[in-house]
Amino acid sequence: MLKADLHLHAGEDRTHKLKYSSKELIDHAAKLGFEVLAFTFHRDVFYNKDIANYAKKKNILLIPGVEKYVEGKEVLIYNITQEEAETIKTFNDLRTFKKKKETLVIAPHPFFKSKGCLGKKLVENIEVFDAIEYSHFYLPFFNLNKKAARVARKHSLPWIGNSDSHHLVQMNMTYTLIDSKKDMSSIFKAIKQRKVLLKTQPAPLRYFIWRTFIMAFNME
């Protein structure tokens, strides 16, 4: 089983002002035993030979990805180049792209309280998604993942646990174990076949309050 986190941000992400670099995140992830990662920056596909080789030296497979705004909503798309990402503006564009290339599409935090979250667009375009994210950001008595979990069950889609890391402390609260060989094609196939195991625990209350404050005042 491969330990994976497929929703990560780092200091090179132009949308945020994060204090750690992609290599620092890889170092941290390696210490936690992660074997598969994907940087999913908001504007850019952050993937190159240098960063992929750096991850490989740490026994980590790095998969190219992006957190793309499609019709104003956030969508995680994998095995994509910057040029390809710039052509995808609508869900019909995404459908066309999926027919041309082996890829994976995940719905991130779809029912969280942000205008960028998918909301009803998830169900309206459910056939374009291969999995639904189960976010780390919840408490035992307050969990916005529950509606997403119901949609996943109804449509027989796997849950993928991710950190959506904007701070290194977020990693390892929620992640995914994937029953797969360690290559991109096998991992995509395993996820689509639901050969995954969600590993999750509620966030500590102090962390939840701190993170809510950070987001409310746009401090990252």
Give me the mean pLDDT over the 207-212 stretch: 87
Region of poorest pLDDT, from 1-5, 17-21, 210-214: 210-214
Query: Length of the chain in residues, anyone?
Result: 220
Q: What is the pLDDT of residue 17?
A: 82
What CATH number corresponds to the domain at position 7? 3.20.20.140
Other CB atoms within 10 A of residue 211 CB = 18
Q: What's the average model confidence in pLDDT over 83-112?
A: 97
Neighbours of 120 (CB within 10 A): 10
Number of structural domains the chain divides into? 1
pLDDT per position as a tens digit, 141-167: 999 999 999 999 999 999 999 999 999
Provide the H-helix boundaries in 43-81: 49-57
pLDDT of residue 148: 96
- Angle (CA) 95 153 85, round 5°: 25
Mean pLDDT for 161-179 is: 96
Neighbours of 11 (CB within 10 A): 15
Give the C-alpha separation, 77 to 94, whole Å: 9
Per-residue pLDDT for 82 more than 70?
Answer: yes
Could you report the per-residue pLDDT of 42-57, keeping only the tens digit for each? 989 999 999 999 999 9
Its sign, for the CA torsion 125, 82, 18, 7, is positive
Domain range for 51 = 2-216
